A and B are shown apart, each in its own frame.
Chain A
Amino acid sequence: MVAFASSARARAATSEVTSPSAIGGFVRISPEGGISLVMPSVEMGQGIYTAEAALLAEELDVRLDQIVAFAAPPDGSLYAQPLFKAQMTGGSTSIRGFWTPLRQAGAAARSMLVAAAAQAWGVHPNECSTKDGTILHSSTGRVLKYEEVAESAATLPMPEDPKLKSREEFRIIGKSQRRIDTSAKVNGSAVYGIDVMVDGMKTAAVAISPVDGGRLKSVDDNRARKIPGVIDVLRIDDAVAVVGEHYWVARAGVEALDIDWELGPNTKLTTASIRAEAVKAADEGTPIKALERGDVETSFKNATKRVTAEYELPFLAHATMEPINTTVHVRPNGCDIWVGTQTPVVAQKHAARITGLPVDKVALHNHLIGGGFGRRLQADTIEQAVHFAKQVPYPLKIIWTREQDIRHDRFRPCYLDRIAAGLDEQGRPLVWTHRTISGTVRRYFAEDGWPEGKLDKDAVDGAWDSPYAFPAIRVDWVRHDPPVKLNWWRGVGPTHNVFVVESFLDELAHTAGQDPIAYRRALLDANPRAMAVLDKVADAAGWHKSLEPRSGRGVSLHQNFGSYAALVIEVAVAISGEISLNKIVAAVDCGIQINPDTIRAQIEGGVLFGLSAALFNGITFDEGRVEQGNFNDYRQLRINETPPIEVHLLESNESPGGLGEVGTVSAAPALGNAIFAATGVRIRRLPIDRSLLSKRENA
């Protein structure tokens, strides 16, 4: 196999294919005709393999049905996401970051293949053209396939600045493409991390300290070891693993353990205690300023009316369908890890530290992910698996139960928000202030934690950069780290802040006695893209059409991840308080579209993902323990609760925006605003408390 290394920085080509880390680059062509494209971002359902392959294939001039895609090995020098400068998939960055580099990589490889063919024919490259993996010399009718010149092409210099196609020349980008990852997902042949089989592999189930921060005191494993099929019992600081011939016997072994935990400092933790601490921080803590524009204090003095509100959002678990699992084989001279991770380089680094091996002796084989949503951005679960696996000579697969997956998740933070506005006599906002009280997620991603006094922009994203022009605005953050480990969750900062901003803006519209869309439009004169999606959604949703009693429409608007989205949700609220979703309409401007059908799918699924959390989900604590554990008490939206969804995409010439999280951000505020329209009850706390809605008939 010949490899074209063509990174974002147009590395020189190499034909050394001795190990995955030595390959580098995005395009590989075997003499047998296989064209492989290396995917820098991990496929977790968002359709990124198809989109990134489309960028490469467009410029390489091959069809998507001619290529296979595979996960990039950990190599930050080649596969770092340009927006993170790290090899990570998240934050709706993939297409924003790789839009130009991957097209350049495809174009560079194509140009080298053409040059090699031209050399073989003794003609000028300009006389050659390409199509579907072949090079043509039209005046003589000669044709060469890519694989026939791949080996010599790989020895040629890589062009520094290959010419890219204009938008009019695109044959793949912008047209809905069949996804390249799905045919194996409908017949059971797709291999996720949990499906990995390695020769000699054993399977473990674990018991983990029920309170985070607890430690293993002692374990009596006599009964477990007597179970036929149980092979080993392994201990680490805060967990015990029972290794079995298969998962079920390992589980039986865990249930037979008699464990004494030292539960540690968090046994008194309750949701009420966490909330009380947050309120204290809100009252006494020092805010860190994110944005101040205009004269906030004077504007409040000049205002006719001051409106204030407090919003609260809960901890959330990711609850991906594929429970946490990792397969590890530690040997004296090397380590292999088979897993689906959003952060392969970090996982590799931790494994090297834990095993004492050099990083280049840790091979990480990344897999399709059965749902990420941010959970697999942290490698804590992989660390645990390596700690266990280094105690045994055989490959070890560890699978968590669903209950462990939820209870030992690293959670979306809980938030407390205090927000205020001063209105003029027409009800227009003169001034807007928004204070968030929360922990910092970034401390889990920075090498040395997060310094006191430094803004974690994630805490204010979606608040300081809302679509609206307020004459005066102040956005700040009080850092208050709860004794609960945190993580990013689909939609990151904006999922929280846009709920607060869009709900409160709805409150202001109501206070001013104005239509919520008209009220928003008056603040969007300088923001035509936001105005356009808002107008489109109003029109498509029939915003002004009348509805039955206790039915209502709510709207939300936001600009995040380089995209613009407006959403209208129509609900009916029963006297009992039960909420029915009747219809969902979205309008999105995400700049240039790569694969429109997948864009629609991401909005559809993203909105429902956000609604599921707003309707049902909140992680709570008692005696330091997470109270939820499975889909019976951490329930999810189901098909019978799903209304029809329309997604309207606006044409645009702007650079592509992110999409994986856009719909999720839109969801909760549109729902809360619809419930207000239906019942007159303002939703300021999630998940939605149905008892608030049952009391107020004809409110």
Chain B
Amino acid sequence: MISLNINGRDYSVQAPDDMPLLWVLRDLLNLKGTKFGCGIAQCGACTVHVDGRPVRSCMLPAANVGPREVTTIEAIGQKDSGRRIQQAWLELEVVQCGYCQSGQIMAAAALIERNPAPDDAEIDAAMAGNICRCATYARIRAAIKSASRK
């Protein structure tokens, strides 16, 4: 059995030792907001927070998470940083197909959590691991700035 703390709740799951957190979230806990994109930590669609830090859940075995707190897109709006990012995303109409946006929002929320007023270069550095095929990048940049001003 693997014990996990996700979005403030404790869970016990039966899963193979190498099963990534992504698939535990999606298939065992029905938290489908975290997305499968590449499986090799190249696209960032599966980004979650582990103790507040952005992590690629597609390559992190759930068995290695331990007692650390996992936060997913479903609960990020309960944090001030997440709520501000989600609001800015809607106000600036960042989203197109939306498939990568859970990961983008998790990465952005982690960024403004540790850097309340990032500049373009800091935004680019923090967000470069998240691919968006609709290429909503210019609006992502603008929305992070908008959220960090509030």
Contact = CB atoms under 8 A, between A and B. Distances in A.
A179 B32 contact: no
Contacts of A632: 40, 42
A605 B139 CA distance: 10
A640 B133 contact: no
B133 A371 contact: yes
B97 A321 contact: yes
Given A321-B45, A322-B35, A604 B139 contact: yes
A399 B135 contact: no
Contacts of A203: 27
A639 B123 contact: yes
Contact of A248 (B19, B90, B135): B19
Contacts, number: 173
A427 interface: no
A217 interface: no
A370 B127 contact: no
B74 A187 contact: yes
Interface in B68-86: 72-74, 77, 86
B37 interface: yes
Interface string B110-150: 00000000000001110111111111111111000000000
A691 to B, nearest CB: 24
A637 B135 contact: yes
A159 B134 CA distance: 41
A91 B60 CA distance: 40
Interface string B22-60: 010011101111111111101101000000000000000
Contacts of A637: 135, 137
B95 interface: yes
A321 B133 contact: yes
A605 B134 contact: yes
Nearest to B92: A597
Contacts of A47: 96
B131 A601 contact: no
A630 B38 contact: yes
Contact of B95 (A185, A322, A373, A642): A185
A332 interface: no
B6 interface: no
* Best-buried of B38, B42, B96, B101 by chain A (most CB within 10 Å): B96
A186 B134 contact: no
Contacts of A197: 30, 32
B23 A247 contact: yes
Contacts of A246: 23, 27-28
Given A638-B128, A638-B131, A370 B19 contact: no
B38 A644 contact: no
A285 B45 CA distance: 46
Nearest to B142: A644
Contact of A601 (B43, B90, B101, B139): B139
Interface string A179-207: 10111011111111011010000010000
A188 B102 contact: yes
A188 B73 contact: yes
B66 interface: no
A44 B133 CA distance: 11
A597 B93 contact: yes
B32 A195 contact: yes
Nearest to A399: B36
Contacts of B102: 188
Interface residues of B, number: 57
Given A605-B96, A609-B135, A640 B43 contact: no
Contact of A639 (B15, B36, B90, B140): B140
Interface string A360-392: 000000001111110000000000000000000
A6 interface: no
A188 B33 contact: yes
Nearest to B128: A640
A566 B150 CA distance: 36
Given A179-B95, A188-B34, A371 B134 contact: yes
Contacts of B42: 630-632
B16 A252 contact: yes
* Best-buried of A248, A319, A609, A645 by chain B (most CB within 10 Å): A248
A497 B138 CA distance: 28
A556 interface: no
A608 interface: yes
A321 B132 contact: yes
A693 to B, nearest CB: 23
A186 B23 contact: no
B119 to A, nearest CB: 13
Nearest to B45: A321
A248 B20 contact: yes
Interface in A310-355: 319-323
A46 B134 CA distance: 9
B77 A322 contact: no
A179 B93 contact: yes
B98 A181 contact: yes
A47 B134 CA distance: 12
B100 interface: yes
Contacts of A609: 133-135
Interface in A617-646: 630-632, 636-640, 642, 644-645
Contact of A322 (B99, B135, B141): B99
Interface in A492-545: none
A248 B26 CA distance: 10
A402 interface: yes
A252 B61 CA distance: 14
B39 A183 contact: no
A612 interface: yes
B38 A601 contact: no
Contacts of B101: 185-186
Interface string B2-17: 0000000000000110
Interface string A13-57: 000000000000000000000000000000011110000000000
A371 B20 CA distance: 24
Contacts of A402: 37-40
Contacts of B128: 638-640
A325 B149 CA distance: 40
A607 B138 CA distance: 12
Contacts of B141: 639, 642
A438 interface: no
A249 interface: yes
B90 A182 contact: yes
Contacts of A645: 138
Contacts of B95: 45, 179, 181-182, 185-186
A250 to B, nearest CB: 10
Nearest to A183: B90
A202 B119 CA distance: 46
Interface string A230-254: 0000000000000000111100100
* Best-buried of A319, A372, A598 by chain B (most CB within 10 Å): A319
In the complex, the 7 A-B pairs of residues with the closest C-beta atoms, listed nearest first: A188-B33, A370-B99, A45-B97, A185-B98, A45-B96, A608-B135, A188-B73
18 contacts: A45-B97, A45-B134, A46-B96, A182-B90, A188-B32, A188-B33, A197-B32, A247-B23, A248-B15, A320-B99, A321-B35, A370-B35, A598-B93, A604-B136, A636-B131, A639-B123, A640-B128, A642-B137
Given A631-B131, A639-B140, A640-B124, 20 more contacts: A45-B96, A45-B98, A45-B134, A188-B33, A188-B73, A188-B102, A189-B74, A229-B16, A247-B26, A248-B27, A320-B99, A323-B36, A598-B93, A601-B93, A604-B136, A609-B133, A630-B40, A638-B129, A638-B130, A639-B124
